[in-house]
């Protein structure tokens, strides 16, 4: 099964993570604050959803940024060399 690495635990990332997990897709919800991601994952109660860091989310089959540009999406992706456009959607 393909794993989606989703960046962001805010207004974009959480609904997307829930949607993909409810559809049975394996998702790693990546956050700069792993404890926040763990709390969100626990609250959503989806078996296919797990918490991780941005690095964990980046080491998946598909990378999906779930945050606004103004919230630093490019700053998060750039220093970690996550510009792999084949996997970045």
Q: What is the pLDDT of residues 36-85, one digit of tens each?
A: 999 999 999 999 999 999 889 988 888 888 876 666 666 666 655 544 54
Classify burial at 3, counting beta carbons within 10 Å of its beta carbon; exposed 0-12, middle 13-18, buried 19 or more. middle
CA angle 10, 12, 76 (to 5 degrees): 70
CA distance 2 to 63: 11
Looking at residue 80, its pLDDT comes to 58
Domain extents for the chain?
3-77
Over residues 23-44, the pLDDT tens digits come to 999 999 999 899 999 999 999 9
- CA 76 – CA 13 distance, rounded (Å): 14
Which segments of 1-89 are extended strands (E)?
A: 3-7, 26-31, 49-53, 62-65
Give the CATH number of domain 3-77: 3.40.50.720
Q: What is the pTM of this model?
A: 0.81
């Amino acid at each position: 099964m393909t794993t989606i690495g989703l960046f962001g635990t805010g207004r974009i990332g959480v609904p997307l993570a829930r949607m993909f997990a409810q559809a049975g897709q394996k998702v790693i919800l990546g956050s700069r604050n792993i404890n926040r991601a763990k709390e969100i994952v626990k609250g959503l109660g989806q078996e296919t959803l797990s918490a991780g860091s941005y690095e964990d989310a980046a080491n998946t089959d598909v990378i999906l940024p779930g945050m606004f540009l103004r919230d630093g999406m490019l700053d998060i992706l750039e220093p970690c060399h996550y510009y792999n456009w084949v996997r970045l959607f």
